[in-house]
C-alpha cells in the first residue's frame, strides 16, 4: 500500500517540473513515486512546447514523460470547441506494435481520469476489424494512439483527420523504422499541420532516426539519456546469470530452474514462432501453465494470453522478440534468454521486461558452446561481464565449432557486427 505522505511528496516533485496539480496528483496516484531521469530531463522543455528527441532505454519512464506532457497540453486547450463531426484529433501517438498501443493508450486514460473535461483516447491498430474502431472515432478523439498502417486505413475511410494535430509523439522511433514503416510515416507526415509540437523517443539514434527527426521536428532539443537511465534505473536492479548448457537440454534445464527457483512467473524469449509453441507444449506436458506468444496468433488470442499472464493464470510465457519492447508486466521477476537475442540492443530490451518501476529482477541467459562468442559480443556492448555457471546434471558436453574462413572471428552474423542489407540501403538513400 502506498503511503499518503509518499504520494504528496511525489506530487510535489512532479509539480516542480512544471506539471499542473491535477497531473502531478495523477502521476503519484499511478505509482510514479519519483520522476525518472528521462522524465526530469524531458518534461520541462516538453511542457514549454519544445520539439525534442529523447534517447533512452526501455523501462526508463518514456511513456510517463510524453504522456504527462501531452495531457497537460490538452488540459490547457478548449477541447470542447474541437469536438465536432469532422473527426478531428488533437494529439497523435505513433507506435510500432499493437501491444504498445494498448499500453500507451491505457496509461493516458489512467493519467487523465482526474480531468474535469474527460479526455477521449482512441486506440487503433491492425489485425482486428476496423468497424468498431471507426465507431469509437465518431465525433473525433482528443488523442489517437495508433500503428501507422491502421491509421492510414482509417484516414482513407474518413474516420479520422489529422489536420488539427497539435502534439505528435513517435514512441520507439527506431523500432518503427526497423519494422518497415518508413513509407507509411512519409504519407502520414503529409497529412499533419506544419505547426505542431513533436516529441520523439527512441532507444537508439541510428542514421535513419536522425534523418526522420531532421524532417519532422523543428530545432529539436536532443537529449541522450541512455547512459544515465541505465545507471540510475533498471540496470543495477537486474541480476544477470549466464548458464552453460547444450542446446538440446535447454528445455529440461528451464523446467529445472523454474521448479528449483520457485519462480512464480517467467518470460522466456525464443528465436522463432515454432520454438515458442514447441517449448510451451513441452512445459505444459510437464505440468506447468505455459503458453506461446508470437505474431502468428490472432489479436484476440494475443490479448487473452497476455491477460492470463499478467493476471497470474499463466506461469510461463514463451515469446519471440515481438514482446521485447513495449510490454509492461507488473512485478515480472524473471526473464530467460532461451535463445540469445540477435543483437546487444535486443538483449537490453529483453531483460528490461523485469526490474521495472524500481523493483529487482533476474535475467538468465542460456549459453552453449556454439553461442559463446555471440554472448561475449553482447557482454562487450553492454559493458558488463556475466560469470558463466553450470548446473549439476546439466553440464555441457559439446565444444565450439571451429571458425570458418569466411568468419575467422567465430562471432557469426551478429547484428551490429556487420551491416545488414537494409542498413546499406538506408545509408545509400541517405547519401
Structural contact between residues 90 and 82, judged by C-beta atoms closer than 8 angstroms: yes
Which domain-ending residue is among 180, 205, 230?
Answer: 230
Task: Indicate whether 1 belongs to any domain.
Answer: no
pLDDT at 328: 67
**Could you report the per-residue pLDDT of 350-370, keeping only the tens digit for each?**
888 887 766 789 999 999 999
Q: What is the CATH classification number for the domain harbouring 69?
A: 3.40.50.300
pLDDT at 405: 46
Least confident interval from 92-96, 119-123, 222-226, 405-409: 405-409
- Claim to verify: residue 285 and residue 222 sit in the same structural domain: no
Residue 362 CB-half CA count within 13 A: 16
pLDDT at 206: 84
Residue 156 has pLDDT above 50, yes or no: yes
Structural contact between residues 159 and 188, judged by C-beta atoms closer than 8 angstroms: no
Residue 236 has pLDDT above 50, yes or no: no
Task: Indicate whether 195 belongs to any domain.
Answer: yes
pLDDT at 151: 96
pLDDT at 6: 36
- Claim to verify: residue 161 and residue 276 sit in the same structural domain: no
pLDDT at 227: 63
Between 73 and 225, name the one with better pLDDT: 73
What total of structural domains would you count in the chain?
2
- Claim to verify: residue 224 and residue 241 sit in the same structural domain: no
- Claim to verify: residue 104 and residue 70 sit in the same structural domain: yes
**Could you report the per-residue pLDDT of 51-79, keeping only the tens digit for each?**
999 988 766 788 889 999 999 999 887 55
- Claim to verify: residue 55 and residue 202 sit in the same structural domain: yes
For 53, the 3-state DSSP assignment is strand
Q: How far apart are CA 414 and CA 430, in angstroms?
A: 24
Q: How far apart are CA 254 and CA 365, in angstroms?
A: 10
Give how far the C-alpha of residue 271 lies from the chain's centroid of Cα atoms, to the nearest Å: 18
Q: Which residue, 420, 379, 372, 422, is CA-closest to 398?
A: 372
Which domain-ending residue is among 178, 205, 230?
Answer: 230
Q: Where on the phi/psi map is residue 45: left (φ > 0), alpha (ψ -120 to 50), or beta? A: alpha
- Claim to verify: residue 240 and residue 155 sit in the same structural domain: no
pLDDT grade, residue 49 (50/70/90)?
very high
Least confident interval from 225-229, 292-296, 322-326, 417-421: 417-421
Range of the domain at 247: 234-389
Handedness of CA 308, 310, 315, 321 (dihedral sign): positive
Percent of the chain surpassing pLDDT 90:
48
Q: How far apart are CA 344 and CA 74, in angstroms?
A: 38
- Claim to verify: residue 270 and residue 126 sit in the same structural domain: no
pLDDT grade, residue 228 (50/70/90)?
low
Region 187-195: mean pLDDT is 94
- Claim to verify: residue 247 and residue 216 sit in the same structural domain: no
- Claim to verify: residue 53 and residue 195 sit in the same structural domain: yes
DSSP string, 115-146: -SS---EEEE-SSS-SHHHHHHTTT-EEEEEE
Residue 137 has pLDDT above 60, yes or no: yes
Core vs surface per residue 127-165: b (16+ CB within 10 A) or e: eeeeeebbebbeebbbbbbbbbbbbbbbbeeebbbbeeb
pLDDT at 5: 36
Which domain-ending residue is among 171, 202, 230?
Answer: 230
Least confident interval from 6-20, 175-189, 255-269, 325-339: 6-20
Percent of the chain surpassing pLDDT 70:
81
For 166, the 3-state DSSP assignment is coil
Task: Indicate whether 5 belongs to any domain.
Answer: no
**Could you report the per-residue pLDDT of 399-424, keeping only the tens digit for each?**
766 655 444 444 444 444 445 554 55
Element (H, E) at 316: strand 316-319
- Claim to verify: residue 153 and residue 46 sit in the same structural domain: yes
- Claim to verify: residue 225 and residue 262 sit in the same structural domain: no
Q: How far apart are CA 72 and CA 111, in angstroms?
A: 10
Task: Indicate whether 403 belongs to any domain.
Answer: no
Kindly report the pTM of this predicted structure: 0.61
pLDDT at 414: 44
Task: Indicate whether 207 belongs to any domain.
Answer: yes
Task: Indicate whether 431 belongs to any domain.
Answer: no
Region 78-99: mean pLDDT is 73
- Claim to verify: residue 193 and residue 154 sit in the same structural domain: yes
Amino acid at each position: 500500500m502506498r503511503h499518503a505522505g509518499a504520494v504528496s511528496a511525489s506530487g510535489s516533485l512532479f509539480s516542480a517540473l512544471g506539471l499542473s496539480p491535477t497531473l502531478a496528483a495523477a502521476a503519484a496516484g499511478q505509482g510514479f513515486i519519483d520522476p525518472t531521469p528521462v522524465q526530469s530531463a524531458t518534461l520541462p522543455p516538453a511542457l514549454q512546447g519544445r520539439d525534442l528527441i529523447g534517447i533512452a532505454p526501455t523501462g526508463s519512464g518514456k511513456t510517463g514523460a510524453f504522456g504527462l506532457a501531452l495531457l497537460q497540453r490538452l488540459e490547457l486547450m478548449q477541447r470542447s470547441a474541437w469536438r465536432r463531426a469532422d473527426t478531428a484529433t488533437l494529439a497523435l501517438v505513433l507506435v510500432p506494435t499493437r501491444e504498445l498501443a494498448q499500453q500507451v493508450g491505457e496509461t493516458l486514460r489512467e493519467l487523465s481520469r482526474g480531468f474535469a473535461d474527460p479526455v477521449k483516447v482512441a486506440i487503433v491498430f491492425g489485425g482486428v476489424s476496423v468497424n468498431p474502431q471507426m465507431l469509437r472515432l465518431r465525433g473525433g478523439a482528443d488523442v489517437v494512439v495508433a500503428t501507422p498502417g491502421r491509421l492510414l486505413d482509417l484516414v482513407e475511410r474518413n474516420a479520422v483527420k489529422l489536420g488539427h494535430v497539435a502534439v505528435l509523439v513517435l514512441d520507439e522511433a527506431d523500432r518503427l523504422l526497423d519494422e518497415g514503416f518508413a513509407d507509411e510515416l512519409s504519407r502520414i507526415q503529409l497529412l499533419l499541420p506544419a505547426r505542431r509540437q513533436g516529441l520523439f523517443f527512441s532507444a537508439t539514434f541510428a542514421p535513419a532516426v536522425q534523418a526522420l527527426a531532421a524532417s519532422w521536428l523543428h530545432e529539436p532539443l536532443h537529449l541522450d539519456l541512455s547512459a544515465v537511465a541505465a545507471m540510475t534505473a533498471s540496470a543495477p536492479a537486474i541480476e544477470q546469470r549466464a548458464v552453460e548448457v547444450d542446446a538440446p537440454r535447454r528445455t529440461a534445464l528451464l523446467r529445472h530452474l523454474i521448479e528449483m527457483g520457485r519462480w512464480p512467473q517467467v518470460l522466456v524469449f525464443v528465436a522463432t514462432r515454432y520454438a515458442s509453441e514447441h517449448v510451451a507444449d513441452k512445459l505444459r506436458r510437464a505440468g506447468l501453465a505455459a503458453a506461446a506468444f508470437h505474431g502468428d496468433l490472432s489479436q484476440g488470442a494475443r490479448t487473452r494470453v497476455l491477460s492470463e499472464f499478467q493476471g497470474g493464470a499463466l506461469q510461463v510465457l514463451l515469446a519471440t522478440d515481438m514482446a521485447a519492447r513495449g510490454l509492461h508486466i507488473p512485478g515480472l521477476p524473471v526473464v530467460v534468454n532461451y535463445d540469445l537475442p540477435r543483437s546487444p540492443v535486443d538483449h537490453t530490451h529483453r531483460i528490461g521486461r523485469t526490474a521495472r518501476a524500481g523493483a529487482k529482477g533476474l535475467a538468465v541467459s542460456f549459453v552453449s558452446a556454439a553461442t559463446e562468442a555471440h554472448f561475449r559480443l553482447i557482454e562487450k556492448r553492454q559493458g558488463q561481464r556475466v560469470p558463466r555457471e553450470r548446473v549439476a546434471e546439466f553440464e555441457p558436453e559439446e565444444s565450439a565449432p571451429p571458425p570458418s574462413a569466411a568468419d575467422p572471428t567465430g562471432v557469426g552474423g551478429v547484428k551490429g557486427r556487420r551491416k545488414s542489407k537494409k542498413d546499406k540501403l538506408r545509408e545509400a538513400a541517405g547519401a
